[in-house]
Amino acid sequence: MNFADSENVAALQGELNDVSAGAITGSGALDVVVVIPALNEEGSIAAVIQSISRQIVREIIVVDNGSVDRTARLAQEAGAVVLHETRKGYGYACLLGIAHALRNNPDVIVFLDGDFSDYPEDLPDLLRPIEEKGCDLVIGSRMLGNREPGAMLRQALFGNWLASFLIRIFWGYKFTDLGPFRAIRTDALRRMNMNDPTFGWTVEMQIKAAKLGMKTIEVPVRYRKRIGESKVTGTLTGTIKASAKILYTIFKYIGAKV
């Protein structure tokens, strides 16, 4: 069930927005682990970790994906568990983080980027639908939230629109974003059997949620200009590779079993 297609979405969104972003505090009822894939984020990683409330999150895992700067050391000094994934790829880093997190079987795993473009303070907004509404997957939508001008380049905006449009056409689930800031129940994540090693990882998760009939919703999140250059949309090569992989992933799952 995709709440974006239900009659209750307006009411649910209203409940989520009763308190301004960043002002909601979690109840602590959920056992939450955060996974942060990172590549050369020494200018931002400490700020990301320090912005995550430890009253809500039990463990912060930073997966260093082959950084040549001080990302790993600064993350460890900031209080994160640091893992090293030498195979380059966003999905590879996320998968290693998941494997470590699942050792203690948390209720929820949260993913966000290490470039400080996301607002970790918005995390309670992602957890609330899981705790109170029984949602399986919550996507932090930059399209629905407040974006700093220039935080998302035109190619990223178009790519999000196209991927979301295709998911709705093929599987009937309405998304507006493939945003990296997301929370998912551990039992739902296990059912997905995630395996994409690179740029198709986020869209794979949303497609599998749709194919498995999971309860999903998007909540508005804030978004700002990242610290440093994007590894994906910051270069023409990165943009082309990411776009091609996302489209390949979408069409690969048409008619395929999860």
In tens, the pLDDT along 94-118 reads 999 999 999 999 999 999 999 999 9
Asked whether residue 257 is assigned to any structural domain, the reply reads no
What value does the mean pLDDT take over residues 228-236? 62
pLDDT exceeds cutoff 70 at 138 = yes
Asked whether residue 258 is assigned to any structural domain, the reply reads no
pLDDT exceeds cutoff 60 at 160 = yes
Percent of the chain with pLDDT over 70: 87
In tens, the pLDDT along 219-231 reads 999 999 999 776 6
What are residue 218's phi and psi, to 5 degrees? -105, 145
What value does the mean pLDDT take over residues 177-186? 97
What value does the mean pLDDT take over residues 228-255? 80
**Confidence band of 239 (pLDDT split at 50, 70, 90):** confident
Asked whether residue 153 is assigned to any structural domain, the reply reads yes
**Confidence band of 243 (pLDDT split at 50, 70, 90):** confident
141 is in which domain, residue-wise?
3-252
Asked whether residue 74 is assigned to any structural domain, the reply reads yes
Asked whether residue 220 is assigned to any structural domain, the reply reads yes
Asked whether residue 91 is assigned to any structural domain, the reply reads yes
Supply the pLDDT for residue 170: 97
Lowest mean pLDDT among 13-22, 211-220, 236-245: 13-22
- Domains identified in the chain, total number: 1
Supply the pLDDT for residue 8: 41
pTM over cut 0.95: no
What value does the mean pLDDT take over residues 174-201? 97
What value does the mean pLDDT take over residues 125-135? 97
Lowest mean pLDDT among 52-61, 139-148, 227-236: 227-236
CB 212 within 8 A of CB 258: yes
Supply the pLDDT for residue 48: 98
CATH number at residue 136: 3.90.550.10
In tens, the pLDDT along 56-93 reads 999 999 999 999 999 999 999 999 999 999 999 999 99
CB 20 within 8 A of CB 89: no
**Confidence band of 232 (pLDDT split at 50, 70, 90):** low
Provide the residue type at 193 as one letter.
Answer: N
Supply the pLDDT for residue 240: 81
SS (HEC) of the chain: CEHHHCCCHHHHHHHHCCCCCCCCCCCCCCCEEEEEEECCCCCCHHHHHHCCCCCCCCEEEEEECCCCCCHHHHHHHCCCEEEECCCCCHHHHHHHHHHHHHHHCCCEEEECCCCCCECHHHHHHHHHHHHHHCCCEEEEECCCCCECCCCCCHHHHHHHHHHHHHHHHHHCCCCCCCCCCEEEEHHHHHHHCCCCCCCCHHHHHHHHHHHCCCCEEEEECCECCCCCCCCCCCCHHHHHHHHHHHHHHHHHCCCCCC
